[in-house]
Amino acid sequence: MKKFFLIFILALIPFASTTVSAESDLPLNSEAGIVIDAKSGKVLYEKNMNKKMYPASLTKVATAIYAIEHGDQDELVTVSKKAAEADGSSVFIEPGEEIELSKLIAGMLINSGNDAAIAIAEHMSGSEKLFMEDLNEFLRKEVNVTDTHFMNPHGLFDKNHVTTASDLAKITRYAMKNATFREYFGNKDLPWKVKTWDTTLVTHHKMLKGEIPYKGITGGKTGFVSKSGYTLISTATRGEQDLIAVTLNAPSGKVAYSDTELLFNYGFENFKSAKIDKKSILYSADHSKHYKLNEDLYYTHLISDEPSLKTSNDGILSIMNKEGKAIASFDLKTVAEVRNTEVPARIKKETIHEEANKLSVPSLEWGGFVISIILMTVFLKKSRKNRRTRY
């Protein structure tokens, strides 16, 4: 009986599959581009993602999340002459006008107001220069960017105002964890009444406002100056999967959107997000320790793949593919509560990572399913025969 159930369990274990790579060369026309899984941070595809480039108004994503996290959203901001006279796109605010910080942030994101960006910077740090010191430090220490240095809060051209597609994806991923930012970033329009202007602001992002429809689009920010070309950040969700796409220096707006669609389609059609629930308890390989997670853990795998979980004796949880290669790993000592576990030697020898099996819920492979049915049938026939023999 015990042998039968062991065989039955083994028959249900799925065949492993390939690494997290969907070998493809996307025909992107933008100079740089990237698409990431927003939950795991996994890079699904990239082109020149670490090349330093000019972001234009994509800069405002960083200004917005900093102001949301460090400012009082209900405070009134007094607009300076410098802010009101900012070059480029504007929300038409006037010197001396008092406007709520939350309203300026939303207007800056939706209508890309350079005047709003300067007003926010001066309010937050006392001057635009000091704000840039604060913002750059925040991006390095809190968001962990490595190749970004911003010279202003709006993105008008400066030869030293640079970032990368990779860093912009990180900044957007960080920002999208904030509910207030997500609300502003996903707004298609905003009633706007200031001293000299009573209107409705409409997002510049053509996918978001439906001019270029895309299923699942949740937010976006556009950018353009002649030195940067057309730049674009977009977010989209389908089912449990959240993606972030960035394109830099496209030759036209049309190309920026078509490249974004290519990146999104590639991500949604080839990859899947998976979660290890924070309520789970994992055991070390020798069962001497167990780990109670403090947070949900996310990883990304090919849609065709059903990875297995493996925990080492020193607390490293690895997500393994068919070839025995780790496609993701977590140090459980930093994301879980660690405790010693007293487990009888017999159980240590016979137990097959029960928690790992629970977490990696397999879809039954036909081969294993057929074998299981055959074995069950044989077992039942044998049981009936034994009962007839006794009687």
- The confidence score (pLDDT) of residue 323 equals 76
Give the containing element (helix H, strand E) for 244.
strand 241-250
Beta strands in 155-202 (DSSP E): 189-194, 197-202
- β-pairing verdict for 241-250 and 197-202: unpaired
Domain range summary for the chain, segments of one domain joined by +? 9-18+277-364, 32-272
Q: Tell me how far apart the terminal alpha carbons of the chain are, to the nearest angstrom.
A: 21
- The confidence score (pLDDT) of residue 174 equals 98
- The confidence score (pLDDT) of residue 196 equals 86
Q: How far apart, in whole angstroms, are the C-alpha atoms of residue 134 and residue 288? A: 46
- The confidence score (pLDDT) of residue 21 equals 54
- β-pairing verdict for 241-250 and 32-37: antiparallel
Q: How far apart, in whole angstroms, are the C-alpha atoms of residue 112 and residue 88? A: 9
Q: Looking at this protein, which amino acid is placed at residue 22?
A: A
Note every long-range contact of 383-390, with CB atoms under 8 Å and residues 24 or more positions apart, other chains counting: none
Determine contact, residues 27/319, Cβ cutoff 8 Å: no
CA-based nearest residue to 34, from 21, 47, 53, 23:
47
Three-state DSSP at 94 gives coil
Q: How far apart, in whole angstroms, are the C-alpha atoms of residue 30 and residue 198? A: 37
Task: Tell me the catalytic residues.
Answer: 57, 60, 112
Architecture, CATH, for domain 32-272: 3-Layer(aba) Sandwich (3.40)
Q: Tokens representing 190? A: 């905003």
Per-residue pLDDT of the chain (391 residues; tens, 9 = 90+): 433 333 333 333 332 222 345 557 899 999 999 999 999 999 999 999 999 999 999 999 999 999 999 999 999 999 999 999 999 999 999 999 999 999 999 999 999 999 999 999 999 999 999 999 999 999 999 999 999 999 999 999 999 999 999 999 999 999 999 999 999 999 999 999 998 889 999 999 999 999 999 999 999 999 999 999 999 999 999 999 999 999 999 999 999 999 999 999 999 999 999 999 998 899 988 888 889 999 999 999 999 888 999 999 898 999 998 778 899 999 998 999 998 876 544 444 444 344 444 443 333 334 444 445 545 554 555 544 444 433 2
Determine contact, residues 192/226, Cβ cutoff 8 Å: no
The predicted model scores a pTM of: 0.82
- The confidence score (pLDDT) of residue 287 equals 87
Determine contact, residues 125/70, Cβ cutoff 8 Å: no
